Chain A
Amino acid sequence: MREHDQQRSDQPSSGSGFNRRDFLKGSGAAVAATALVNEATEAQAQDKKVASGPVDVTLNVNGKQQTLKLEPRTTLLDALRDELNLTGCKEVCDTTNCGACTVMIDGKATYACTRLAVEVQGREIKTVESLRQGDNCDEVIDGFVRHDALQCGFCTPGFVVATRAFLNKNPNASLEEIQKGLGGNLCRCGTYNGITACALELAKKGGA
């Protein structure tokens, strides 16, 4: 947005000043320009600014290789949600604070809103949907239901993935470790009690 007011012209967006995502996308475009120079389309090569316009991006999502036409600045979150219709990961803060977009990349819990799709090619991406096959659910999902660790449910898939990744790494976690390990996710309805109870129960069983 270009703004021409008399007093202030230093606000870069409708947000609250500095916008981390804009920064990410800007640098993402630069990264992409380097990484994709061979793959860029002719049209892009002629673009004198930075690489833009869609390019082929191949992602390994939930065990499947999928090639998408994406702009290099596209976040992993937007690619998963808007292109692959994997909407379990949610867009909430868009500033890497809330964890609603958590997915696993090579087994590690990661905020999908802060990674570009183009930079996670060749990595193993798992979304919450991978934790359920038909009626067969991961223990974390069933544990959340059993402990009523959800209300509106919008933060829940992110918490489920974070819990799964955390327990994989810390199968016998203590209460204190759980509170630290799951501190990267936010809930508004107030479901922390059930989430803690679920994680503790699973940790007592070795994180199953």
Chain B
Amino acid sequence: MSGRSVNWRNSGLIGEDTPRLDGRDKASGFAKYTYDINPEGTLYAKLLTCTHAKAKITRLNVDPAKAIKGVHTVYLFKKEGDDCNWDGELVAAVAAETADIAEDGVRAIEVSYEVARHFVDEDDLEGAKAAERSKDIVDKTDGDPDAAIKGAAAVHEGYYGIATISHMCLEPHGVHSQWNAGGDGPKVVVHNSTQAVSTTGPQFAQGFGLDASDVRVICNYVGGGFGSKFAADEWGLAATQMSKDTGRPVRLMLDRPTELKTPGTRPSGFGKVTVAADKDGKVVAWKSHHWGTSGPQGGTIDGNQMPYVFSFANQSVKSTGIATDCGPNRAWRAPNHPQLCAITDAALTDLAAKLDMDPVELYRVNLEAGAVEKVAQSKLAVYQAELDRAVELMGWDDKWHAPGEGDGPVKKGVGVALHRWGGRAGASTCTVKVHPDGGAEVFLGSQDLGTGTRTVIAMVLADTLGLPLDRVKVHIGSNAYPPANPSGGSITVGGVSGPVRRAALDALWQICDKVSAKYGVPTDDLDAFGGRIWHDHKEVCRWEEACRLLGTTPLETSGKGPENDGLTDQLVGGVQMADVSVDTETGIVTINKMVAVQDCGTIINPMTARSQVYGGLIMGIAYALSEERIMDNMTGRYINADLENYKLPRIGDIGELVVDMYQPESEFARGVVGLGEPPVISTGAAISNAVFNAIGVRVPVLPLTPKRVLDALAAAKA
């Protein structure tokens, strides 16, 4: 990195496949997650939750629980007279010597409910209107869609939908909380399974009249969050209160059913679309009305982003939220986008079919016409290039056929969809310390959700100082460190890599100044590489000799971001294609192959970046084919809240996955952009479109379960 410029060029480590540094500890069980924190004296807490969708608690007697030997305390989330608003809402927690005794305590609690009428049918717009549970949120029109539809060469009307799903973090939400942890340390030490190490402390403090400085929040490893783990949450506060009351550390992790029901879901979306095009496939009008539920809040997916990615001269969009007595929603990986994409891209493929047109061609025509949202205008050429690559990697031109064409009961088909995401770097700070013996370490209150954050930070620090990875240490996962952004919205890799680069460069340049003075070489032209300082390709000194010039005190620098120095950027596109087989006798959909072409600016660690995309594809296959929350209209309960009946794909269910990281010079030059959300967005739409191509019938609602496929086939026959 000759000269004092800030960029990602001339790097030794950036862009190299680097196995994650915590891989061994995670794979060997040595890594301690919140659920694994288990110091002597820990009490285990279990939860009583409401079993009704809508009810008032008429009686709540916890004395029988308290009477059980080994039960230490009972915490009440609700009291007699309180309302419960969904199946799974927390009522009480029991802390005991063992988890089994805590469960005994929960069973012993006497609770009665006065059950009220519930409403949980999230697709029933008319019923919601009748029950006064619907609320129009967006209702807007540009141009004159009705006139444009009249003059169009092809008009398609369709109904589409996508069910509510749960986050299904394998490590449930929860904490291990210790009041009066002792020594000179903070008053409360909370191990919290969180995506937000730096920002949850004040929430714990506020709950107990403490200063935020009294609360230490620690999270070295988190077993999945996907957008649902940003808060201290009522169970976190409950565990802390129970620790305060008992003088013992308390671990409270949600049980599996509660984990599915309560700490968040991804809202459903259902909608009617009318879309029209001229004879060349250029869309001339879009009309849609969608609805769905985010639970008691009564929201639905964002109408302001419909249609998705595309934008047409004449369009009207309406959205209606439905308040249901279902569990509440939280951000789920790429909030709104998978649902918007599933509706928009399915309608576009169906429109292409009306025109006897290959949907890829329809995309091309409309991209050519610049018919995309303002925010995506800069991606037009990228989308075209990504379509080219996807077409080639999928063998699309050989596989695509007129919808439903083909003989025999098992039919094959291919589908396409595209997406976008922001991914601007989050606001983070860090401290870099370089020791006189040459060792270097970096501190920041970030967290590694499994995206490889820890490894990326180490790569940036080591790369900047010209050191091998094992000479640097990364300290994250504690709010004792400089604050870093919560990890949500694909903002972390950009959020941490910029500040670490800047702090490390600052340290390097200060050391180079000392080297310059000592060795009489011009300071601006010094490079650090291979554990040595170089001038004009000649070694000046070893790194350790350079650091010895610091004297006895370590050098400390800090970095922050985001800044407009080119290290980070925002906005990614991405194209995905699916190749499926559909058994028209059983309704079973099998994934043969998926292709994901994904840009994300500068890629620091291609290995973990690809893993993000593989993961996105697999989560996409899950919500496309099998996973959904099933609410029972009769009882108002979430009836498949366990891993037996909430179906996720297993290792043999994913087909061949082809991941193509699109990083031409123009992308590398942009700087780092986040990647966590985008690859999960268009998977569902691509698979739905592939099923349509296979059988010639639209299966309207995701997931495309065998029943839904057979129902669609039967309806088409009738």
Q: Which residues of A contact B (CB under 8 A)?
A: 1-8, 11, 13-17, 25, 71, 73-74, 78, 81-82, 85-95, 97-98, 100, 127-129, 131-132, 137, 140-142, 144-146, 148-157, 160, 176, 178-180, 182-183, 185-196
Chain A residue numbers with a CB within 8 Å of B38 are 81-82, 85, 87
Can you sample 14 A-B contacts with CB below 8 Å?
A1-B111, A4-B110, A4-B111, A7-B115, A15-B257, A16-B637, A145-B24, A152-B449, A154-B170, A179-B651, A180-B652, A188-B224, A190-B617, A192-B618
Contact in complex: B51, A3 (CB < 8 Å):
yes
For B27, B610, B617, which residue has the most chain A Cβ atoms within 10 angstroms?
B27
In the bound assembly, the distance between CA atoms of A189 and B452 in angstroms comes to 12
Contact in complex: B19, A146 (CB < 8 Å):
yes
A-B contact count (CB 8 A): 243
Contact of A78 among B20, B30, B98, B112 (CB under 8 A): B98
Contact in complex: B115, A183 (CB < 8 Å):
no
Digit string of B621-663 for contact with A (CB within 8 Å is 1, else 0)?
0000000000000010111111111001111101001000000
Digit string of B73-116 for contact with A (CB within 8 Å is 1, else 0)?
00000000000000010000000001110000011111111110
* B465, chain A: closest CB distance, angstroms: 24
In the bound assembly, the distance between CA atoms of A17 and B638 in angstroms comes to 11
Contact of B614 among A16, A74, A191 (CB under 8 A): A191
User: Which residue in chain B gives the minimum CB-CB distance to A12?
Assistant: B107
Contact in complex: B643, A141 (CB < 8 Å):
no
* A22, chain B: closest CB distance, angstroms: 8
Q: What number of B residues sit within 8 Å (CB to CB) of A?
A: 82
Q: A98-B643, A185-B651 are in contact. Are A151 and B29 (CB under 8 A)?
A: no
User: Which residue in chain A gives the minimum CB-CB distance to B657?
Assistant: A193
Contact in complex: B643, A92 (CB < 8 Å):
yes
The B30-79 residues at the A interface (CB cut-off 8 A) are 30-33, 35-36, 38, 44, 47-49, 51-52, 55, 59
Chain A residue numbers with a CB within 8 Å of B257 are 14-16
* B207 at interface by CB-CB < 8 Å: no
Contact in complex: B450, A151 (CB < 8 Å):
yes
Contact in complex: A16, B651 (CB < 8 Å):
no
Q: Which residues of B contact A (CB under 8 A)?
A: 19-20, 22-24, 26-33, 35-36, 38, 44, 47-49, 51-52, 55, 59, 88, 98-100, 106-115, 168-171, 221-224, 226, 255-258, 449-451, 607-608, 610-612, 614-619, 635, 637-645, 648-652, 654, 657
Chain A residue numbers with a CB within 8 Å of B48 are 1, 14
* B370, chain A: closest CB distance, angstroms: 34
* A4, chain B: closest CB distance, angstroms: 4
Q: A82-B44, A82-B99 are in contact. Are A152 and B29 (CB under 8 A)?
A: no
For A73, A132, A141, A148, which residue has the most chain B Cβ atoms within 10 angstroms?
A148
List 5 extra interface pairs beyond A2-B107, A16-B642, A82-B38, CB under 8 A. A13-B106, A95-B644, A189-B615, A190-B619, A192-B650
Q: A4-B59, A16-B642 are in contact. Are A131 and B450 (CB under 8 A)?
A: no
Chain B residue numbers with a CB within 8 Å of A3 are 51, 111-113
User: Which residue in chain A gives the minimum CB-CB distance to B640?
Assistant: A16
Contact in complex: A11, B30 (CB < 8 Å):
no
In the bound assembly, the distance between CA atoms of A91 and B259 in angstroms comes to 13
Chain A residue numbers with a CB within 8 Å of B612 are 151
Contact in complex: A192, B115 (CB < 8 Å):
no
In the bound assembly, the distance between CA atoms of A148 and B226 in angstroms comes to 19
* A184, chain B: closest CB distance, angstroms: 8
Contact in complex: B100, A191 (CB < 8 Å):
no
Contact of B29 among A128, A148, A187 (CB under 8 A): A128
